[in-house]
Structure 1
Amino acid sequence: MTSIHPGQRVAVLADAQNLYHSAQSLHSRNIDYSKLLSKAVQNRELTRAIAYVIRADSPEEESFFEALADIGFETKIKDIKTFQDGSKKADWDVGMSLDAVTLADHVDTVVLCTGDGDFSRLVSHLRHEGVRVEVMAFESSTAEELRDVADTFIDLGDRIETFLL
């Protein structure tokens, strides 16, 4: 796969739910999305940055969504679903995958900001299509198969003072 170079077109897809839960469970802190985006782009040409978020009706979430937009992320919002048994579910796996496949013809690199192993098949597909795939997440909460299949893995845990608020 290609290495990093200044003219490279990059799409950044951030699984906000996955990043939030990892940062909270490991460090009791929140992600600095501005620094995350800056590191993901690394002086390349940003084609698109999308943050996939869940609306759970918490008081501070609208200001969080606005902050993401101010940083440069397009936000895709999904409402949390509550089932009759009281269980809740909301994830963006299919939406992120579809966006990544759609963007593959328009970028050289896709940066996935997630540790979810469900994306390992997507990464294999993108690489087969000639797209460089970088993964940014916390190593200790990232599926080994996702780390193994990516061209590059950046451990946010190696630089918590940079990537966490």
Structure 2
Amino acid sequence: MPPIHETQRVAVIADSQNLYHTAHSTYSRNIDYTALLDAAVADRELVRAIAYVIRADSPSEEDFFEALRDIGFETKIKDIKTFADGSKKANWDLGMCLDAVTLAPKIDTFVLFSGDGDFARLCTHLRHEGVRTEVFGFGSSTAEELIEAADSFVDMDENEEQYLL
């Protein structure tokens, strides 16, 4: 596993929906994105931090998006789609993967905030390209294949007071 050093260029990608749902279903609390970003960057050079969010017409969501920007995240917002049968869908997985692969030549370390096993292949690919991959997620709901695919995994369940508001 490649070591951590202060000259590393870091990109952070946050799967906000994944974190939100886990934090609320497990702890009934919100994520402390400031603490999470600080822990992820760890005195290295932050190249870019992107939070992928879904607009679902909730009254407080614009305040949340603004708070993310104030912390230092670029926000990418997708509107939730409602289908004729009443089902709803919004998914950033492909966009997150494309952005990560595009950023790879400009960074040394990729940090993912998610527990979604769909990102295991992305981590494997980035590692093959020489990029260190670090995952922050709630161990109780993080896919085993994602943990195994990353160079390191931070289990947010082990220190929820640090990562939750």
TM range, normalised to the smaller chain? over 0.9
**Residue aligning to 1:148:** 148
Q: 1:151 Cα shift?
A: 0.1
Q: Distance in 2 between matches of 1:141 and 1:83?
A: 28
Whole-Å separation in 1 of the counterparts to 2:91 and 2:140: 21
SS at match of 2:58: coil
1:115 corresponds in structure 2 to 115
Query: 1:132 matched to which residue of 2?
Result: 132
Question: C-alpha distance in 2, partners of 1:91/1:43?
Answer: 31
TM-score norm. by structure 1 comes to 0.99
CA distance in 2, matches of 1:137, 1:80: 24
**Residue 32 of structure 1: aligned partner:** 32
Report the residue type matching 1:41 in the other structure.
V
Taking structure 2 as the reference length, the TM-score comes to 0.99
State the SS of the aligned residue for 1:96: helix
CA distance in 1: counterparts of 2:65 and 2:94, whole angstroms: 21
SS in 2 for 1:111: strand
Identity of matched residues, %: 70
Equivalenced residue count is 165
Residue 2 of structure 1, CA deviation: 1.8
C-alpha separation in 2, matches of 1:147 and 1:91: 21
1:44 aligns with 44
The one-letter amino acid paired with 2:20 is Y
Match of residue 89 from structure 2: 89
The letter of the residue matching 1:121 is: R
Q: Alignment partner of 1:104: what SS?
A: helix
Return the alpha-carbon distance in structure 1 between the equivalents of residues 133 and 153 of structure 2.
9
Find the aligned partners of 2:3 and 2:82 in 1 and give their Cα distance. Answer: 44
Deviation at 1:91, TM superposition (A): 1.2
1:128 is matched by which residue type in structure 2? H
CA RMSD across the alignment: 0.5
Structure 1 segments of 4+ aligned residues over 6 angstroms from their partners? none
Give 3-state SS (helix, strand or coil) of 1:119's partner: helix
| Shift of residue 46, structure 1, vs aligned partner | 0.2
User: For 2:147, what is the secondary structure of its paired residue?
Assistant: helix
Provide the rounded CA distance (Å) in 1 between the counterparts of 2:4 and 2:158: 20
1:122-152 deviations in whole A, cap 9, x for unaligned?
A: 1110000000000001001100000011000
One-letter code aligned to 1:70: D
Please name the residue that 2:105 is paired with.
105
| Letter in structure 2 aligned against 1:144 | E
CA distance in 1: counterparts of 2:134 and 2:160, whole angstroms: 19
- Give unmatched runs, 5+ long, in structure 1: none
